[in-house]
A and B are shown apart, each in its own frame.
Chain A
Amino acid sequence: MTGAIDIEVCGLQKLFQSTVSDTPVLAIDRLDFEIRAGEMVAIVGQTGCGKSTFLNMLIGLDRPTRGHITIGGRKPYDDFDHFRGVLATVFQQDRLLPWRSALDNVRLPLELLGNDRHEQTARARVWLDRLGLSQFVGAYPHELSGGMRQRVALARAFVVGPQLLLADEAFGHLDEVTSAALRTDFINLARNEGKTAIVVTHQLEEAIEMGGRILVFGRPGHLLADIHLANWSSARLSRLRGDIQQMLQSNVPNRDITKPVPKEL
């Protein structure tokens, strides 16, 4: 499957039952935004601001308490099976199956889709090759470095040709060099394939490097800023880091950041 897909988030709220008291915990307060097909979006925010909760609802693993999310007009938690092969996620840890080789891990989503076995192997090999792992197709996860394992996880996400790519703090736990290389791989692959991509991160650098759009989440799960980075000058970009940090600390929206940027800049 190729192409990209629109996302609409409307009045989204998520409450969790507390394990220590009867009062429910508010994880997502109220979220309203849209993501256009082919957009590359980074979601930033402090720990506990509901980034991963939002992503779980987007994947369809969790349901909203109020409001809804639609991807291409359908709700991922209601029409769960409709999204087979439509979206793929790269998680914080590689989450490779330890009893499968790198090749078999990449083949996994294609097996679930019922693709022909030869096609599964061929496509998995292509992606492992693209990510520089052609020498390690038969290696088990424990025989690979952290960076290599995350590359296998990237290949596993891309191999189905999803319309929507999600990454949940997928590069932050690796060393700086590996993290930057993987981030670049992810951005390039998503751009070249024309995918809608959403990257959840707590690293501002990573969000800015994505170069598309930044959604800043405050606590509890609400939108502090929706920043479109197109046409931004390097001076304004360098100021952005401090502005976002200040906004996250104060947990108050900064409307100046979100102002549209004139074309000439």
Chain B
Amino acid sequence: MSEKDPIGSKALAGFIGRDAFRRPGETLIAVAIFAIVWELLAWVCPPYVIPGWGRIFHSFIELNGDFVIISLLRVAAALVISFVLGLGVAVAMYSSASFERYAKPLVRLFMAVPVVCWILFSVLWFRGVEFRIAFVLVVTCAPVFIVDCLDGMKGVQKDLRDMLRSFRPTRLQFLTKLILPATLPVIFTSWKINISLAIRVVTIAELVGAVSGIGYGLVVAQELFSVADVFAWTLVLVIILFVAEAILGRIEGRMLRWRV
């Protein structure tokens, strides 16, 4: 770990999101090759298997925009709740070894449960659709925030911890002046992972029981046997993910400008 990256998360963060935006030339070429191969396949395959870009684009502009906004709001709200909850639990686990001993197995247990099971539990336990979706998202994303934030906090160099302790900070000062700022790169990495996870999970959750959102749009497309609509919704999901990562990358670049 370098001096400039006290928690060693830089390589992971770069791997997850930034490289695509740092090398736009290569990214564009790769996407163009994929689009050409797709179009060639569309010529030889029937449209109900692989629709051409023209059909997909036509479906794309006719998609229900409200569904996109609804899904985005669900993801945003759930991620904020998951982050606040995850960070709070991680701070508690970092501050109390005995709490960590009890909480860690539970967090691992939550992470081991497949998303589909959480969706079924939510359908069995709760009536409200919004609550069901929020439950599934939070229960899936919060443990990732907990584990990542705790790892980041524990990864803060002993040298820096000893330096700050030599000035006799309060517990709150120790957290706010050292531990949380040092964990910030890991927090960004965790957000990137969770944005991707939440967009996939919300789609699956909306497939079951929802009457709005991208997942519901996919169900309708499937029921109408409109393959072009399915691909158009998929395209929307990919674009959302890329845009979200780009925005997060910008914020990260600003907030972590102290890193080389």
Supposing A95-B160, A97-B178, A99-B181 touch, asked if A112 and B260 sit within 8 A by C-beta, the answer is no
Across the A-B interface, give the 6 residue pairs with the lowest CB-CB distance, nearest first: A95-B163, A84-B168, A99-B258, A140-B258, A109-B167, A89-B166
A95 to B162 Cα, complex, angstroms = 9
Judge whether B4 is part of the interface by a CB distance below 8 angstroms. yes
Supposing A97-B178, A99-B184 touch, asked if A61 and B165 sit within 8 A by C-beta, the answer is yes
Task: Pick from B3, B6, B166, B258: contact of A59, CB below 8 A.
Answer: B166
Render A81-125 as a binary contact track against B, CB cut-off 8 A, 1 for contact: 101110111010101011110000000110110000000000000
Judge whether B88 is part of the interface by a CB distance below 8 angstroms. no
Judge whether A241 is part of the interface by a CB distance below 8 angstroms. no
Residues of B within 8 A of A81 (CB): 168
Judge whether B108 is part of the interface by a CB distance below 8 angstroms. no
List 5 other contacts, CB 8 Å, given A112-B177, A142-B258: A87-B166, A98-B259, A99-B184, A100-B258, A140-B258
B247 → A minimal CB distance (Å): 21
B4 touches A142 (CB 8 A): yes
Q: List 27 A-B contacts (CB under 8 A).
A: A60-B166, A81-B168, A83-B168, A84-B167, A87-B166, A88-B166, A89-B166, A91-B159, A91-B162, A95-B163, A97-B177, A97-B181, A97-B182, A98-B6, A98-B258, A98-B259, A99-B258, A100-B258, A108-B164, A108-B167, A108-B177, A111-B173, A112-B167, A112-B170, A112-B173, A142-B260, A160-B167
Judge whether A16 is part of the interface by a CB distance below 8 angstroms. no
Judge whether A80 is part of the interface by a CB distance below 8 angstroms. yes
Which residues of B does A touch, CB under 8 Å? 3-6, 159-160, 162-170, 173, 177-178, 181-182, 184, 256-260
Q: Can you name the residue of chain A whose Cβ is closest to the Cβ of B160?
A: A95
Task: Pick from A59, A93, A141, A160: contact of B159, CB below 8 A.
Answer: A93
Residues of B within 8 A of A87 (CB): 166
Q: Can you name the residue of chain A whose Cβ is closest to the Cβ of B257?
A: A140
Q: Can you name the residue of chain A whose Cβ is closest to the Cβ of B169?
A: A112
Q: Can you name the residue of chain B whose Cβ is closest to the Cβ of A82?
A: B168
A249 → B minimal CB distance (Å): 31
Residues of B within 8 A of A100 (CB): 258
Residues of A within 8 A of B164 (CB): 108
A59 to B182 Cα, complex, angstroms = 23
Residues of A within 8 A of B257 (CB): 140
Most A C-beta atoms less than 10 A away, residue of B6, B166, B258: B166
A180 to B36 Cα, complex, angstroms = 66
Supposing A91-B159, A97-B160, A112-B177 touch, asked if A80 and B168 sit within 8 A by C-beta, the answer is yes
Residues of B within 8 A of A56 (CB): 162
A95 to B163 Cα, complex, angstroms = 7
Q: Can you name the residue of chain B whose Cβ is closest to the Cβ of A89?
A: B166
Residues of B within 8 A of A142 (CB): 3-4, 258-260
A95 to B4 Cα, complex, angstroms = 11
B158 → A minimal CB distance (Å): 10
Residues of A within 8 A of B166 (CB): 59-61, 87-89
A10 to B170 Cα, complex, angstroms = 29
Residues of A within 8 A of B163 (CB): 89, 91, 95
A152 to B106 Cα, complex, angstroms = 45
A98 touches B167 (CB 8 A): no
A100 to B160 Cα, complex, angstroms = 13
A85 to B170 Cα, complex, angstroms = 13
A28 to B145 Cα, complex, angstroms = 43
B188 → A minimal CB distance (Å): 13
Q: Which of A133-190 contact B (CB under 8 A)?
A: 140-142, 160
A100 to B5 Cα, complex, angstroms = 13
A60 to B178 Cα, complex, angstroms = 19
A61 to B257 Cα, complex, angstroms = 32
A223 → B minimal CB distance (Å): 24
A142 to B260 Cα, complex, angstroms = 7
B161 → A minimal CB distance (Å): 9
B162 touches A61 (CB 8 A): yes
Residues of A within 8 A of B178 (CB): 97
B162 → A minimal CB distance (Å): 6
A129 to B150 Cα, complex, angstroms = 39
A109 to B169 Cα, complex, angstroms = 9
Q: Can you name the residue of chain A whose Cβ is closest to the Cβ of B159?
A: A95
A98 touches B4 (CB 8 A): yes
